[in-house]
């Protein structure tokens, strides 16, 4: 399961997608929108994707995780659009026979996702908005 969605993510469903009787560990990472960043009060986060390429890049992350760790299944779902504070913007679930592989592959997957997957985040805060990474935002007067 490698998906870009615009509705709220059901983290339990993502975990369930990697369930397998041969596994003894499922590691699920839930990235949620935080109410502060860089000393500012954040009111909402908005995500935009290049969806066709983002899905392909998510699949590549899954393939690479499988090559590097003895994991059984991996699922990654990223939400786009406005994500209210406290809700999940990304959920990654990895299952494996033993826990170390699931932990390490899950950590790898979120780090790599943030480096290479064409998804952009706009932070809305009191008094302005900014695209994170490019820092070409507008401060409202």
Partner 1 sequence: MTIRLRFFASLRERLKMSDATHEAAAGATAADVWSALCREHPDLEPLSGSVSFAVNREYVERLHPLHDGDELALIPPVSGGAASSADNSSRSPTNRQALHVRDRL
Stretch that binds partner 1, among 4-12, 20-28, 49-57, 95-103 (CB under 8 A): 49-57
Q: How many residues bind partner 1 (CB under 8 A)?
A: 26
CA atoms within 13 A on the CB side of 55: 7
The interface with partner 1 within residues 65-94 (CB under 8 A) comprises 68
> Alpha helix (H) ranges present in 2-134?
11-17, 51-68, 99-116
Nearer to partner 1, 97 or 122 (CB): 122
- Smallest separation (angstroms) from partner 1 to the CB of 125: 15
According to the binding rule CB under 8 A, does residue 52 interact with partner 1?
yes
CA atoms within 13 A on the CB side of 134: 12
Chain centroid, CA 71 distance in Å: 19
- Smallest separation (angstroms) from partner 1 to the CB of 126: 20
Stretch that binds partner 1, among 11-19, 21-29, 41-49, 94-102 (CB under 8 A): 41-49
Contact 62, 2 (CB under 8 A): yes
């Amino acid at each position: 399961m490698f998906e870009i969605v615009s509705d709220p993510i059901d983290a339990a469903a993502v975990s369930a997608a990697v369930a397998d009787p041969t596994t003894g560990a499922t590691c699920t990472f839930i990235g949620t929108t935080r109410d502060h960043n860089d000393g500012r009060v954040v009111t909402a986060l908005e995500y935009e994707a290049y969806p066709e390429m983002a899905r392909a890049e998510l699949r590549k992350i899954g393939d690479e995780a499988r090559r590097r760790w003895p994991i059984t299944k991996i699922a990654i779902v990223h939400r786009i659009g406005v994500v209210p504070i406290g809700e999940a913007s990304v959920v990654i679930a990895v299952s494996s026979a033993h826990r170390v592989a699931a932990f390490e592959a899950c950590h790898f997957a979120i780090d790599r996702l943030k480096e290479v997957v064409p998804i952009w985040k706009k932070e809305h805060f009191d008094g302005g908005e900014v695209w994170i990474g490019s820092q070409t935002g507008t401060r409202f007067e």
